[in-house]
Amino acid sequence: MALLEASKSWQGSAPGSVNPDLASERQTASFCVERLTALLDGGAEQTRIRRAVVDAIESDPVFSRENQYFQTQNERYEAAVRKAVHLQKKMHEMGWTENGPEYKYIYRALSGDVAFLLHRVFMRSISVLGSDKQIAKWIPLATQHKLIGSYAQTELGHVGRSATHTVVFAQLYIHGKCYGIHPFIVQIRSLQDHSLCPGITAGDIGPKMNFEHIDNGYLLLRNVRVPRENMLSKFCEVRPDGTYVRQGSQKINYFTMTTVRISLISDEVLTPLMKACTIAIRYSVVRRQSKLKPGEQEAKILDYQTQQEKLLPQLAAAYAFYFTNDYLQELFNRGYREIQRKNFDMLPELHALSSGFKAVITQHCTAGVEICLRACGGHGYSLLSGLPSLYTKILASCIYEGENTILLLQTARFLIKCFMAASAGQPVPPSVTYLAAVKHGKCPAKNKLDFLSPDIYIEAYQHVAVRLTSNTAAKLQDLIQSGVKKHDAWNQCTVQLVQAAKAHCHYIAVKNFAETVEKLETKAGIQKIMKHLCDLFALHGIFSNTGAFLHDGYTSAAQMDMVTASYLDLLAVIRKDAVPLVDAFDFTDKSLNSALGSYDGHVYQRLYEWAQRSPTNQMSPAYERYLKPLLHNTLSKL
């Protein structure tokens, strides 16, 4: 009866007022929220531009998401196509261009609720793998939506019902010789009437857990002739006489995946977790349940230590991975500059880190969103909370752009190679130089405060990552030396290889967070609160993986008690700033689209009002057909 009980508290709420339980949380912030928002945006000017974009999009009724939770798959698709088409007009009106400062905020402002996502991946493929001539031909057509692109790599393809063109990844054969996977632009539908081109079978794959607004499809090509010039040929080319010419690494043909894996982290993965934290934390200070202290009113559920332990590590992870994303972007920009100069030296490291972090971040954030959902009790399960759709959306990110296990094994392959190279005294890329520095010492922490020292916990993470990699490399070698075939030996090590890859990424995420905090301005309380979050992120990782840290005695059981003590202390400290920390993410109510998470905290009023809009509250034909005869029958017996 939570709704009825709580409904008493909102009946008198004035328009524009904020629920006092939420308002009081904002009065005690230990830092300047606006400064933190600017930090996350990369400066106050970026915040201004972002807000202007959000405002322009949200004030346009075509982009409204008001009834989204009540729409069918077809309705969502149609609305998303309408928005995508309207967006072109809007961009023109507003003077926003693909290269302008506003562009990166548009998708976030639309909350991803727009069709033709894969059109962006299509364009990305051409931009990074196409020759200058191909870019000059295709990119303007794609930018103006004179064609609709998609990306067909996985067997059964993914093209759906909108696309007119696709980039197909297929084996290249010349005179019967296979040259491996290459990207080809293929027209699949008529630009006149949208009918399928000869030899093409394609369609939508049907209902999914989410992404109803995106049409994922199947594609079959039978005797389809693709012109030679349609093979993307920045790095590989087939000359008219059939000669194959390649510049640099064959693996560059996989580069679209690397770029997309990095670019999806922000909008597709971090944003859902940040929104989920915002909703769950705001709700947790509005929702009162049970008595914490005898004789007092019911407590805010965020005051329970267990509730803090659910939500605050997710909040810390959101910040940690926000900074990891900056690290990856920077690495990518450097790597891509070199690749454009046809220097492919950074490609293996870039591939290993983008794959590993894509897997680790999507895994962590998906679990985090689910925790937020469950932490809101029964209301979290309602679509109107906004949490189920965040969850079903983010879950897909563990699968697309490379299923996570496959990606972690890619990272592990790189780690094993580098470990072998480092052990033989050869140079290795910067992110793995630590593998050469195998130490067999013990954790030097003497008390719980020592575990708030980044040097202490970074070294513990490093130790675990080195141990998992070196032990697995040794097992692999032993198996091979004992006569097991290389591929069988690899398969027998894959569970441990996945552990090693995760440990490597976790170590880098912790180290990068600590280094970022170190460089922050000390004014306005920002550095202090970020340090708390960094400590929490690091200690949560140790607390929830105790086996890995205790395994070889690097950390003792007594030290684990110290970790636990510091970790629990931090929960109580960060709890005080929990609401300001999510306010700093600066999501508007429209973008949260949540009855539980709005800025004013009028949870029950919204839940009630939104529920009224549900088509399920209209009289169903089931009444006339089935219930009425049934009940009338009962009536005659009373």
Ligand X SMILES: Cc1cc2nc3c(=O)[nH]c(=O)nc-3n(C[C@H](O)[C@H](O)[C@H](O)COP(=O)(O)OP(=O)(O)OC[C@H]3O[C@@H](n4cnc5c(N)ncnc54)[C@H](O)[C@@H]3O)c2cc1C
**Hey, which residues are catalytic here?**
401
- Whole-number minimum distance, CB 396 to ligand LOHRUJSQ, in Å? 8
154 has binding-site annotation? yes
Residues of this chain, 355-414, that bind ligand X according to CB under 6 A? 396, 399-400, 402-403, 405-406
Q: Give the CA distances from residue 542 to residues 411, 437, 471, 532, in Å, rounded to whole numbers and listed in that order.
A: 22, 21, 20, 15
Q: What is the DSSP letter of 553?
A: S
The yes or no reply on residue 152 touching ligand X (CB under 6 A) is: yes
* Residue 343 is a binding residue for ligand LOHRUJSQ (CB under 6 A): no
Select from 80-88, 261-269, 361-369, 463-471 the region that touches ligand LOHRUJSQ (CB under 6 A).
261-269
User: Which residue from 35, 137, 246, 413 is in contact with ligand LOHRUJSQ, where contact means CB under 6 A?
Assistant: 413
Q: Which is nearer to ligand X, 245 or 406 (CB)?
A: 406
Q: Which of 134, 410, 566, 598 touches ligand LOHRUJSQ (CB under 6 A)? A: 410
Q: Which amino acid type is present at position 412?
A: A
Angle at 172 between CA 170 and CA 176, to 5 degrees: 135
What's the CA gap between 346 and 326, in Å, rounded?
Answer: 18
Q: What is the CA radius of gyration of the chain?
A: 27
**Would you count residue 402 as binding ligand LOHRUJSQ (CB under 6 A)?**
yes
Instruction: Give the position of tokens 């559920």.
Output: 301
Q: Under a CB-based contact definition with an 8 Å cutoff, are residues 52 and 589 in contact? A: no
- Contact with ligand X (CB under 6 A): which of 17, 59, 154, 492? 154
Burial class (CB in 10 A: 0-12, 13-18, 19+), 295: exposed
Backbone φ/ψ region at 151: left (φ over 0), alpha (ψ -120 to 50), beta? beta
SS3 at position 547:
helix
Q: Which residues pair with 221 in a beta bridge?
A: 200
Q: Which residue has the tokens 């090509």?
A: 221
Within 142-171, the residues that bind ligand LOHRUJSQ by CB under 6 A are: 151, 153-154
Site for ligand LOHRUJSQ in 491-510 (CB under 6 A): none
Going by DSSP bridges, is the β-strand pair 165-174/177-187 parallel, antiparallel, or unpaired? Answer: antiparallel
Residue nearest ligand X by beta-carbon distance: 158
Rounded to the nearest whole angstrom, what is the least distance from the CB of residue 572 to ligand LOHRUJSQ in the complex?
38
Which of ligand LOHRUJSQ, ligand X, none does residue 216 bind (CB under 5 to 8 Å by kind)?
ligand X
Considering only CA atoms, which of 202, 161, 165 is closest in space to residue 183?
Answer: 165
**What's the closest the beta carbon of residue 124 comes to ligand X, in angstroms?**
12
Q: Report DSSP letters for 136-193, one per residue.
A: HHHHHHHHTTSS---EE-STT---TTT-SEEEEEEEEEETTEEEEEEEEEEE-B-TTT
Q: Which does 120 bind (CB under 5 to 8 A by kind): ligand X, ligand LOHRUJSQ, none?
A: ligand LOHRUJSQ
User: Using CB under 6 A, which of 115, 257, 328, 466 touches ligand LOHRUJSQ?
Assistant: 257
Residue 99, SS3 per DSSP: coil
Site for ligand X in 194-213 (CB under 6 A): 211
**Residues 109-138 close enough to bind ligand X by CB under 6 A:** 118
Partner interacting with residue 137 (select from ligand X, ligand LOHRUJSQ, none; CB below 5-8 Å by kind): none
> If binding is defined by CB under 6 A, does position 412 make contact with ligand LOHRUJSQ?
no
**Which chain residues interact with ligand LOHRUJSQ by CB under 6 A?**
117-118, 120-121, 151, 153-154, 251, 254, 257-258, 260, 263-264, 268, 347, 351, 400-402, 406, 410, 413
**Which chain residues interact with ligand X by CB under 6 A?**
118, 151-154, 158, 211, 216, 396, 399-400, 402-403, 405-406
